[in-house]
Amino acid sequence: MIISQKLDEIPVKLTLVPNVAAVYTHGLVENIEESGKLTQVTASQATGTREIDYELVQLAQRGDKRAFGMLVEKYQRKLSRLLSRMIRDQAEIEDVVQESFIKAYRALPNFRGDSAFYTWLYRIGINTAKNYLVSAGRRPSVSTDIEIEDAENFEDGNELRTMDTPETALMTKQIAQTVNDAVVSLPDELRTAITLREIEGLSYEEIATIMQCPIGTVRSRIFRARETIALKLRPLLDTPEHKRW
Amino acid sequence: MMNEKVSALADGEIEGQEATNELALMLSDKAAMQAWRDYQRIGDAMRGSANLNDAFTARLMLAIEQEPTVLAPNAMPRTLHSTSAKETAVEKNHTVQKIQDRLPAVWSIAASCAAVLMVGWVLLNQQLQDFSSGQSVQVAARAVQQADPTKLVTSPAEAPAVPLEYLAAHHVSAPSVGSYYIQAASYSE
Amino acid sequence: MNVKQYFQRTCIVASTFLLMNVLVIRILHAEPANDAWQMLQKSAAAARLLSYQGIFVYGACNQTKAVQITHLHNGQGEYSRNVTLDDSPKEVFSQGRDLVIFNPKKEKIVIEKRHGQNLFPAILPTELEPLKTSYTLYTGEVEQVAGRLARVLLLTPKDNLRYHYKFWIDQEYGLLLKYSMLNARQEPLETIAFNQLNMMDSLNLDWFKPQIDHKKNYVMEDETPMVSDSSISDDWSIKELPMGFSKINQMRLMAHGKTTPVTQFIISDGMATVSLFIEPLNKKIKPRIGHQVVGNNSFYANVEDGYQITVVGEVPQETVAKIANAVVFKK
């Protein structure tokens, strides 16, 4: 397998699940159930995209709400995951995430690009969650002194113990399963490219160096991987409750 | 718009003016926006993210739609100069248009990099005089040259000025590759 | 430490090696080749004969413009529409070599007519032979443009009197995907590149019409009256132009605010074009002497024997002065 050959040349281990091969041959969901504990480094996805995020913010600041919508699509699940460490109930998390985005939208004129957008958003999210818990007279389930820097790299071991509603739990599992099955059945070079990008958070240039191919090839492989996975994902989402805005 | 561009945008691998252009294209293309959504979802799923109820996004965007549209005062497009005037972006665009109507013809479009700066300062200066909201505007003091309308001054130092009509005539008969899109100079209105 | 952190440590060393490799490979591949001229010729034809649409971006001197292009050749004629993607969209239509431009200016739209020949990507002359006098063509590497593979060709001047031109030619269709004009220090003066390109298979011409804005007035351009004129002057003549340059056209124009006509010569080496203006001195207008650079244009003005000479073009400063000096006055 391509990726394991490349790994031999690099004197470090990818800090994914202890059994590296397992990540790329078994679905993530299965692994979770087997080992019960998943140590996964969430790649700093947002760092490379700071400029794009800021462009979208500026478009929104000039009145384009669709641009804000693109930021919502990008960060809604990430923010939800962050806040799930403070709030257990899925329905409550959704309310807080909703309120956080609305607050962020209203506060957009104050955003000047001094920090990354997601940092600013996450701060709003955490403050909203804290206020929610205080007003509900509750203490958060985990310490609320979450450093924003950790938000990039925190461990997700607790996430699946969130009290999902049965529907969302099932949907989460289905989506994860579909995506992971699709990743696993990708041709080697596509799977490697998209994994290095989405899991390891490497830039195209870094991936090009690992895979020893031009950056344009990396870009094309990641795109083709995504399109292949999207093909399998879309039928799952194409039901009335998933109608797009 | 090619979804491959969306894929590269999602990874932050397009920069600068190209990124600005591509984002603008993406936002006017439903298929491209759907691709963005799908790719974000795929990445989140690969990292084991919990899914949000899909009605969630629809509900949220509906709420955003109903919010009064925010407009940030300093969010100017790339090619215009921003000032510290306390006005909305919409009002500012309108003000710039009014100003351009009043400028002597030779200033209507910049003829060189240095002149771009020059035009910017002229706009600012005019804005100080014409802007009717009564707000004070902080502008660094810089003398605006009152130019002879038939001459173009391309740098603050005194250089011999060449009438723009020669350049215009050159572009009429022998247009350069770029002169179709960026008018180097416009002297007759 | 994960892969990313490992990379951040070794990246500096690795990228230095990579850069050196790239430079060496570039030098090795740059060699004159006969089929390079053929490739360039094909690309000149492809721009006109193929049907395609896309978006390209023009960049020069800190300004950029995105332009959407639709170009069709239906066997009988060549049609194209360019529209700038900005707040005041400017539309350029071409049919064969005739151009009509809808140019928004404040509250009106000015309609301009041109007889033009170098809309991107059809920027090359149809006859490339004259270029061989003044330029050498080198083959560079293969690079990616707009998601397609393109071969780089370098049109290098044989002297310092003209700029360098770089062409990226699509390997599959031969179309010019990217173009750059560079100075002697290899700094780009202007660049045009496709961001997005698709071949068109429909012969539909529905797109070949302007977007009419009913709130605006449409006016024809104020044209400078101009006549083609090959008359020979008694007082002066043009002697030796720099190598490769020759007179393409000559006209007389009655310019704005002038009482006597100006003679304009169009002078070109096949790629670079310069205008030379000669007019009798006018007591009311101050004579101009000196060099000026405006964007990518070099100007030179001089006064001799009662005449004002002005030269302007997309060439280095030395060249406009040399062309001005080619005007010889009879005593």
> Which tens digits make up the pLDDT trace of A134-182?
888 776 555 545 544 444 444 343 344 444 566 666 777 788 889 989 9
Percent above pLDDT 90 for chain A: 36
Interface predicted TM-score (ipTM): 0.81
Residues 6+ positions from C317 with CB-CB distance below 8 Å: C291, C293, C298, C300
Question: What pLDDT shows up at residue C319?
Answer: 93
Q: Which residue has the higher pLDDT, A166 or A76?
A: A76
- State residue B87's pLDDT score: 37
Give the minimum alpha-carbon distance from A226 to chain B in angstroms, rounded to a whole number: 6
Q: What is the mean pLDDT of residues B14-22?
A: 87
Q: What is the C-alpha separation between A5 and C71, in angstroms, rounded?
A: 48
Nearest-neighbour CA in chain B from C140: distance (Å) = 23
Provide the residue count of chain C.
331
SS3 label, residue A39 = coil
Four-residue CA torsion sign, B123, B125, B128, B129: negative
The reply to whether B34 touches chain A by the CB within 8 Å rule is yes
CB < 8 Å from C in window 77-116 of B: 77, 79, 97, 100-101, 108, 110-113, 115-116
Q: Model confidence at C63, in pLDDT bands (50, 70, 90)?
A: confident
Q: What is the mean pLDDT of residues C283-293?
A: 79
Distance from CA of C312 to the nearest CA of B (A): 7
Supply the pTM of this predicted model.
Answer: 0.47
Nearest residue in chain A measured CA to CA from B43? A198
Q: In this complex, which chains have at least 3 CB pairs below 8 Å with chain B?
A: A, C
Chain B residues inside the 8 Å CB shell of C85:
21, 24
CA B74 distance to own-chain centroid = 12
Confidence of residue A102 (pLDDT cuts 50, 70, 90): very high
Chains meeting A at 3+ CB pairs closer than 8 A? Answer: B, C
Taking an 8 Å cut-off on Cβ atoms, the answer to whether A216 and C144 are in contact is yes
The answer to whether C190 and C56 are in contact (CB under 8 A) is no
Stated as kind and residue range, the H or E segment containing C180 is strand C176-182
What percent of chain A is predicted at pLDDT more than 70?
A: 65
B107-139 pLDDT tens trace: 222 222 323 222 222 333 333 333 323 333 322
Q: Tell which wins on pLDDT, A207 or B78.
A: A207
Distance CA(A99)–CA(A96), nearest Å, equals: 5
Whole-number pLDDT of residue A13: 26
Share of chain C above pLDDT 70, in %: 86
CA distance A171 to C64: 46
> What residues of A are in contact with residue B59 (Cβ under 8 Å)?
98
Determine the Cα–Cα distance for residues B14 and B3; give it in Å rounded to an integer.
13
Average pLDDT (B77-90) is 36
Using CA coordinates, name the residue in chain B closest to A74: B40
Contacts of A170 (CB under 8 A, 6+ apart): none
Flag if A230 and B62 touch (Cβ within 8 Å).
no
Structure tokens at C226: 């101009």
Instruction: Return the number of CB contacts < 8 Å for A and C.
Output: 33
B4/A204 CB distance under 8 A: no
Alpha carbons B77 and C173: distance in angstroms, whole number = 36
pLDDT at C131: 93
* Residue B94 CA from chain centroid, whole number: 13
**Residues of A with Cβ-Cβ distance to B20 under 8 angstroms:** 55
B173/C288 CB distance under 8 A: no
Answer whether A41 sits within 8 Å of C2, measured CB to CB.
yes
Amino acid code (one letter) for A12: V
Structure tokens that stand for C180 in this block? 């750059």
Beta-bridged to residue C219, according to DSSP, are: C110
- For residue C156, what are the β-bridge partners? C136
Cβ of A214 and C1 within 8 Å?
Answer: no
Q: CB-CB: which of B18, B79, B184 is closest to C57?
A: B18
Structure token digits, residue A150? 């950790």
Residues in chain C within 8 Å Cβ distance of A220: 147
CB contact under 8 A, B169 and C255: yes
Q: What backbone phi and psi angles, to 5 degrees, belong to A43?
A: -65, 150
**Distances in Å between the alpha carbon of A76 and those of A102, A223, B44, C54?**
12, 22, 10, 34
DSSP of C274-324? EEEEEEE--TTS----EEEEETTEEEEEEEETTEEEEEEESS-HHHHHHHH
Nearest to A119 by CA among A89, A77, A158, A147: A147
* C300-311 CB burial, b ≥16 within 10 A, e <16: bbbebeebbbbb
Is 90 exceeded by the pLDDT of residue A225?
A: yes
DSSP 8-state assignment for residue C241: P
Nearest-CA residue of chain A relative to B19? Answer: A52
Structure tokens at C82: 């360019």
Contacting residues of C for A41, CB less than 8 Å apart: 2
Model confidence over B145-154: pLDDT tens digits?
A: 333 333 333 3
What would the pLDDT profile of C162-210 be if each residue is shown by its tens digit? 999 999 999 989 999 999 999 888 888 899 999 888 888 888 888 888 8
Higher pLDDT, A245 or A190: A190
Nearest partner of C83 among C94, C95, C97, judged by Cα: C94
Average pLDDT on A47-69 reads 87
**CA dist., res. B186 & res. B173, Å (int):** 15
> Among A133-137, A158-162, C60-64, C234-238, which is the least confidently predicted range?
A158-162
CA–CA distance, C56 with B181 (Å, rounded to integer): 11
Query: Are C316 and C293 within 8 A, CB to CB?
Result: no
Q: Residue C52 to residues B1, B22, B132, C74, C175: CA-CA distances in angstroms?
A: 14, 19, 49, 12, 10
Q: Tell me whether residues A206 and C144 touch, CB distance under 8 A.
A: no
Coil, strand or helix at C256: coil
Three-class DSSP category at A14: coil
Which helix H or strand E contains A25, and what residues bound it? helix A20-25
Average pLDDT for chain B: 59
Beta bridge partners of A189: none
Residues of B (55-94) whose Cβ lies below 8 Å from A:
55-65, 67, 69-75, 77, 89-90
C20 CB contacts (<8 Å, ≥6 apart)? Answer: none
Nearest-CA neighbor of A43 among A158, A206, A164?
Answer: A206
- Give the model confidence (pLDDT) of C94-113 as tens digits: 988 888 888 888 788 888 88
DSSP code string of B46-69: HTTPPPPPHHHHHHHHHHHHHSPP
The CA distance from C73 to C203, in Å, is 8
